[in-house]
Structure 1
């Protein structure tokens, strides 16, 4: 597997997961253009079905100019699912080796919790959402890199190494 933690069907690879710790800075050896969010309800993780990629994945996406990774995570989660969770916790950084175009980059990985499941309304980007029991097998059409990131982030979620962030 070339030292990768996970490789998807397109050949994109999750090369490393670096847990966040208090006082540590974001890695600076590659750009960080994205933020992903692992939302939990008990041991279930929220997955969204992307209309274009036709797969289950974590909510998240590109960091807009002038936006912090946290702001991007909050915005993308709300745009994709309707959930507004402004107090996400930074749990780590995912390093990717992507193939089209070839590059290496990071995504900031955040977690949040909900105490109740909400009603989802499909939109232009996301056709469905589901709660995946992270102790079981993932959906057959799930993005393996996102499933791996969800599993890696769970131990760091509540009471673990998560570093709470405030919008800014």
Structure 2
């Protein structure tokens, strides 16, 4: 299934003359190999990444939650999120290897509703990685939405 899905997007990118195409699976990197092979076959530069799930503070935390957990990260009793989003892209082969490490450690050490990493892991394995604030589910934008501009600036500085 993933192979045909990947092929469809790569085929469209090739038909449109796009020189590069990126892919960021949520919380994992399962589609990377198919994506890479399809891009190389079509002469397209693959941009490999992941839409990581980030713990509120530390990957070992298991906060009490309110309501259901959905893709927005749910809400904890303290008003925070069980997890946030962060888009990570491999800048080079070192970055790719670090993304694999981060993804694996998120499953092994941080799994709580989703495979979560934290700032400490990200800092330890950041070489060769481009980090962006992600979507509305990211630390930076969630703080901005709550009016915490100072906190948003602090988290943006961590990227």
TM-score, length of structure 2 as denominator length: 0.25
Structure number with greater Rg is 2
Q: Is the strand fraction higher in 1 or 2?
A: 1
Q: Is the helix fraction higher in 1 or 2?
A: 2
